[in-house]
Amino acid sequence: MLHENPPMLNIDVNHWRNMQALFLQSAKGKRRIVVIHEKGELLKVVHSDRIAIVNPLFKVDDALAAAKKVYEANPGKAEFVMVLERRAVEKYFAEVQDSWKAEEDLDVYVHRMFAKLDDYPEGIVTYPDKARDTLGLQWKVGASYEAVDAVLKNLVPVNTTILLAVFDHNQAWGSLVLEVDEQKKICDITTADPRDLLGSGDWKEMSKEMVNWVNRKFFPCSLGIFTDLATAREFIAASDKLAELKKLVAAGKVLLDPMPSELQKLL
């Protein structure tokens, strides 16, 4: 899905930051308690904000039970507890780094990096959710990696561009520009450049200007997705994406223009 080395140039910081906040959730931004031990012997128990916490542990015999115990001993103080066995963490990162292949799609490597956490059920543990669903940057689009990959492969023509823009009070709030090459891989990632856009009219009028801008600078736009911030959040929260998309398009809350023929058939 993602080229092994996609350039990320000329990105508007505000658009990028806003889209990241919309689609991704960072463990680093959450309040957490970290327990580090070596073969059960405690090395460190610390809160990410360095506030005082209750430490009910003397040693770690069962990592998940220890994480649960610390979490419940500090109600409201942390969104999750992480228990790390020092040598297991070193082994995990060594295995992940050794598995990297220069010719491999970047998303395949990242996906494997998260899946590898399941191989360390005692060494890298989080509570209340498991490590692969908690650590790093988690996407919150409400769809699986496989589902998103299938949309790209089945609906988007080769050598075209996907443009996604979100508006707030008729102002461009965030955008993503994704070029898709002849192998159906995303080969370029950027945002719209507000300096090149007049931004006149309502968001539906501004969407036309964005598409024209993309067509001048990238592969022709085959899929333009435009909506407001509240609707974007509504769509992300929906479990049945296709049914929700049909409803929002019919209500005029989402504009798909242009739209690939394969997507038109579904709608």
pLDDT in tens, 32-52: 999 999 999 999 999 999 999
The neighbouring-strand residues paired with 179 are 161, 188
Contact (Cβ atoms closer than 8 angstroms) between residue 232 and residue 264: no
| Displacement of CA 252 from its chain's centroid (Å) | 26
Contacts of 55 (CB under 8 A, 6+ apart): 45, 70, 73
48-105 pLDDT, tens digit per residue, is: 999 999 999 999 999 999 999 999 999 999 999 999 999 999 999 999 999 888 787 8
150-170 pLDDT, tens digit per residue, is: 888 899 999 999 999 999 988
pLDDT surpasses 80 at 143: no
Which tokens go with 94?
């060594």
Q: Residues for the chain: how many in total?
A: 267
pLDDT for the residue 26: 87
168-219 pLDDT, tens digit per residue, is: 988 999 999 999 999 999 999 999 999 998 777 889 999 999 999 999 999 9
Which tokens go with 142?
């409400």
In eight-state DSSP terms, residue 186 is: E
Other Cβ atoms closer than 10 A to 248: 19
Rounded to whole angstroms, the Cα distance separating 28 from 48 reads 9
**Who wins on pLDDT, 239 or 78?**
78
pLDDT surpasses 90 at 267: no
- pLDDT band at residue 144 under the 50/70/90 scheme: confident
Helix axes 229-237, 13-23, angle to 10 degrees: 30
pTM, to two decimals: 0.80
101-134 pLDDT, tens digit per residue, is: 878 787 888 888 989 999 999 999 999 999 999 9
pLDDT for the residue 72: 98
State the amino acid at position 191 in one-letter form. Answer: T
Q: Cα 155–193–182 angle (5° rounding)?
A: 30
